[in-house]
Amino acid sequence: MDDLYQPAARLLAGRLLAPFLEGHHATPTELLHSPTLQKHVEGDRHWQGALQRAADIQAKQLGVKPSERIGTLTALATKAQKRTRARILEKKPPEARPGAFSDQVAALRQAAGDVAEAAFLADSALTQYLQGGRDWGEKAERILVLCEAESLSAEAKARVDQVLGEVLRAGGAIHDVCERVDPINMVLEDLLVMAGVLAPETPLLEPDPPGGRAPPERTRIDQVLRLRAVLADEGMEQARAGLMAALHRELARRDRLLPSVAGDAYGGGQLLAELQLISRLAQALKPGGHAFLGGHATADAIEKRVARIVSTGALQDMLAGKTVLEKVETLFDMQKMVFGAYARKIVEEYLRSFLEDRDFAGRLLDSSKTRLRKLRSVADVQRRVKESLFAAEERMNWATMLDQVQLTFIRTNHVFAPFEKDKPPPQKVLETLDLCAEGAFTEGECVKRARAHLTRYAQRPTVIREFLSGASDSAEGAKRLALLGEKMRAAGVPFVDVTRMRVMVVEDEEASASYIRMVLGDMGVSQITSAEDGHQALDLFAEQDDAFDLVISDWMMPRMSGIDLLKQVRSTHSKLPFLMVTALATQPAVEEAMAHDVTAYIAKPFPPEQLEEKVMVLMNRGHRVHEGRKG
């Protein structure tokens, strides 16, 4: 007999007698503790059917015939009805009272002979209290008042937890509590708020407004917010389970999260927008990215919701009129949005049919009009392939295929033709740099070739001057140079930041020294130290050891020549770039300088462009700023 009052039995009664209980806005606990409800249920048209279903379930478990079990259950129900009436008449449990329920439960425990009897009496007190509520919303309100009036004892909380779980589990109860049946997205949001996984003001299941504006904040009714606080209590386990049952019921509804478009419920962007909202819902139901709230039942409900709207026909309708590029981009987005193996398989098979089509390359390139857009489109699809959820082998094969598609396009359209000359036009170099920085070249052979060209040409003085042209002053020039560095780093190309270069200029003639400093300054070099001869240069080295990235020295100077300075520098700084300036560009002079490991030389007189070229070549030849100064 006592098994009738266990949570599992109450759950079964709630399921088998749902039409009766929902029609009377009554919970299984109320049925078990109300002689009036028990009398009514025996005369209800659903009673015999419920007994038969219970007999079928239990007969299989017990290994008896259903006909035998139904007789036992009928007798048990009659006995339970008589016992309920007798226990209530004998003990006369009081109606639960807000603010005093914990004390009432304690008193009933003392009066009862055992734990089961104490629980029966406490549930009877709750039943009397709840019968004042005419619908689920009013019953939930009464339970909230009971919870808020005092800090419930563990015993009292257990009784309230059971009943609140039954209320939330009942069909239609959540609509009474939220005071709405539609739209379903608002009901689901209310459930997420009560579950504590969504901030009350957040409009989670609302399409993003146009123009990047934020959607207006939500306003929740008071009862939803109060239930959120009550359900956060660790002791309300049955109540949270009831909330999850309500969630699963709402997820099973066939209503869409988005309002349908007349005559074309999921044409155009509707399907994708619906999947985006379902994806948000699924993410919210996996707090911390781990297990779903409500377990596998939640996952199954979301999977079924997605499966109802994703089909090959729906995909074809959605993608009608789009280019191949737009189609594959949309399908890659959908692959990450859809939930469940069935729906994902449909999306992936449809996407695979495009990628493996022998005409895919031509159709993809035909999706864009200009040469640069065609180039970008192939790289964009390759990027999506590499980030997709396909198996690693498929991703690698398709990525390689797309790299070959772009490489063929580059060859036939002579994209890299300007680099076949020794001096490509600076504007073409900068255009290629922009493309590489923004990821317009496919990973593999294409980006490898682009980077090789840029490494060779991007920091040539003519290119830098083109990039800096129009700068109003040195400050703006420095900013532009920094931007150039950002672009080169984004492109994966080595960059020498000349603004950080520290250069020593050793020249006894002030006019020549001033000219060299001017050229360096125009390049963006601001840290320049001057010496009048080799002795002064060595003194500066002694004072600022390891402080220079480049030495530019005249050959013919009093006291100590440039060649003697070179010998001294090489004894302590074997890898420091050293540029010799000389009017003696004879073969013996060059050989002497080379014998002492000069890095490069430049013959006077020279134009600014020649010095700029020499400086950049030196710094790009494996000699990086702040590296290799001493050794």
Q: Residue 624: is its pLDDT beyond 50?
A: no
The pair phi, psi for residue 528, each rounded to 5°, is -120, 125
CB pairs under 8 A, 24+ apart, for 56-61?
57/12
- CA 336, 340, 343, 347 torsion-angle sign: positive
* pLDDT band for position 630 (cuts 50, 70, 90): very low
The end-to-end CA distance of the chain, in Å, is 93
- CA 246, 248, 254, 260 torsion-angle sign: positive
Buried b (16+ CB within 10 A) or exposed e, 180-216: eeebbbbbbbbbbbbbebbebeebbbbbeeeeeeeee
| Range of lowest pLDDT (200-214, 461-475, 561-575) | 461-475
**pLDDT tens readout for residues 449-465:** 999 999 888 888 788 88
Sequence-ordered list of residues with C-beta below 8 angstroms from that of 15, at least 6 positions apart, any chain: none
Structure tokens at 366: 């035909």
Buried b (16+ CB within 10 A) or exposed e, 34-61: beebbebbeebeebeebbbbbbeebbee
In terms of residues, how long is the chain? 631
Beta bridge partners, 528, equal 503
Fill in the DSSP letter of residue 343. Answer: H
| Range of lowest pLDDT (259-263, 365-369, 586-590) | 259-263
- Supply the pLDDT for residue 261: 57
Q: Residue 597: is its pLDDT beyond 90?
A: no
Q: Which CATH superfamily is domain 498-620 in?
A: Response regulator (3.40.50.2300)
| Range of lowest pLDDT (2-6, 205-209, 246-250) | 2-6
* Nearest by Cα to 141 from 158, 129, 150: 129
Report the alpha-carbon distance of residue 98 to residue 92 in Å, rounded: 18
**pLDDT tens readout for residues 208-257:** 887 778 888 999 999 999 999 999 999 999 999 999 999 999 999 998 88
Q: Residue 183: is its pLDDT beyond 50?
A: yes
Beta strands across the sheet bearing 578-582 = 527-531, 502-506, 550-554, 578-582, 600-603
Q: Residue 271: is its pLDDT beyond 90?
A: no
Return the biggest CA–CA distance within the chain: 126
* pLDDT band for position 164 (cuts 50, 70, 90): very high
What is residue 280's three-state secondary structure? Answer: helix
Structure tokens at 356: 């493996």
Fill in the DSSP letter of residue 263. Answer: T
Report the alpha-carbon distance of residue 92 to residue 132 in Å, rounded: 18
- Burial class of residue 153 in the structure, from the number of CB atoms within 10 Å of its CB (0-12 exposed, 13-18 middle, 19+ buried): middle
- Supply the pLDDT for residue 52: 92
* Nearest by Cα to 124 from 178, 150, 88: 88
Q: Residue 265: is its pLDDT beyond 60?
A: no
Spell out the domain ranges in the chain.
2-169, 178-207+216-353, 360-491, 498-620
Residue pointed to by tokens 């425990």: 109
**Residue 526 near residue 499, CB atoms below 8 Å:** yes
* Nearest by Cα to 168 from 108, 102, 244, 101: 244
Distance of CA 139 to the CA centre of its chain: 40
| % of the chain at pLDDT higher than 90 | 64
Q: Residue 360: is its pLDDT beyond 60?
A: yes
Buried b (16+ CB within 10 A) or exposed e, 367-392: bbeeeeebbbbbbbbbbbbeebebee
Q: Cα dihedral angle (243, 248, 254, 260), rounded to 10 degrees?
A: 60
Q: Cα dihedral angle (625, 626, 629, 631), rounded to 10 degrees?
A: -120
- DSSP-assigned states of every residue in 549-572: SEEEEESS-SSS-HHHHHHHHHHH
pTM: 0.68
- Supply the pLDDT for residue 626: 41
Structure tokens at 104: 């009432």
* pLDDT band for position 544 (cuts 50, 70, 90): confident
* Nearest by Cα to 170 from 10, 18, 351, 339: 18
- Supply the pLDDT for residue 621: 65
Q: Residue 436: is its pLDDT beyond 80?
A: yes
* pLDDT, average across residues 487-513: 90
Report the alpha-carbon distance of residue 102 to residue 108 in Å, rounded: 10
| Range of lowest pLDDT (78-82, 299-303, 371-375, 461-465) | 461-465
Q: Residue 19: is its pLDDT beyond 50?
A: yes
Please provide the average confidence, as pLDDT, over all residues in the chain: 90
Residue type, 479: K
